[in-house]
Amino acid sequence: MKAHPSSAGRPGLRAGLLSLALATLAACGSPPQETRTFTLELADVPLQRGPALPGTLQVQNFSSAAVYGDRRLAWRDMGEPQQIHLYNQYLWSSAPPQLFQQELFRCLAGTQAADSVIPGSVPVAIDYALTGDIERLELQLGARGTAAVLRVTLYLTDRRSRELLWSEQLGYREPIPSNTPEDTATAFGEAMTKLCYDTAGLLRETAAGLQ
């Protein structure tokens, strides 16, 4: 899994001139007019020690509140944290729940977190199902600076017994040191990469407990 923010070899998302968006927002709260589309991608996640989850794991569709299911990039001014806004000019390439399902599937398959990892679109008998709810996916602007914020709750179910094995909330706040496309891309990419690494670790802990 290779990342392409604006220079090769760094984790992130391909963004247009997000620096222009952030600078304009900081100045007067009004984003630029040029429409840009970007997609979330992960860096390579290293293999971890421990057994793989036995059987077939299916990474199923994610859910989210409507604002995070929108293709428009969400942002929040922490001076008014109860309000969330959407850039009309900056769009994810697909709805975030679909992007999360796709990228987490690719990552977990690459880290060999289970004997077999398949996407939610494959209609086969499975042993485990992983899904989640996107609770935060936004830029936050405030006294602490600008940051990419990601928070999800994951659920692992044993499909044979229909038992919920665990639910886990994972959250990440990655500072954006300067208003450049590369730094913004890197921040979102690092958050998603950490999510994948931690998820793979949870699956290996589950596998160890089954032995």
pLDDT in tens, 34-79: 777 766 767 788 878 899 999 999 999 999 999 999 999 899 999 9
Q: What is the mean pLDDT of residues 20-33?
A: 45
Q: Please tell me the predicted confidence (pLDDT) of residue 43.
A: 76
Of 41 and 86, the structure prediction assigns the larger pLDDT to 86
Q: Please tell me the predicted confidence (pLDDT) of residue 173.
A: 96
**pTM of this prediction?**
0.82
Q: What is the mean pLDDT of residues 95-99?
A: 92
Residue 3 has pLDDT above 70, yes or no: no
Give per-residue pLDDT as tens, 102-156: 999 999 999 999 999 999 888 889 999 999 999 999 999 988 889 999 999 999 9
Q: Please tell me the predicted confidence (pLDDT) of residue 6.
A: 30
pLDDT grade, residue 15 (50/70/90)? very low
The domains found in the chain, sorted by start residue, are 12-210 (3.40.50.10610)
Residue 29 burial by Cβ neighbours in a 10 Å radius (0-12, 13-18, 19+): exposed
Q: Are 108 and 203 in contact (CB under 8 A)?
A: yes
Q: What is the mean pLDDT of the chain?
A: 82
Question: Are β-strands 145-158 and 128-142 bridged in parallel, bridged antiparallel, or unpaired?
Answer: antiparallel
Q: Are 76 and 140 in contact (CB under 8 A)?
A: yes
Residue 85 has pLDDT above 80, yes or no: yes
Q: Are 74 and 84 in contact (CB under 8 A)?
A: yes
Q: Please tell me the predicted confidence (pLDDT) of residue 123.
A: 85
Q: What is the mean pLDDT of residues 72-96?
A: 88
Of 156 and 23, the structure prediction assigns the larger pLDDT to 156
Q: Please tell me the predicted confidence (pLDDT) of residue 122.
A: 83
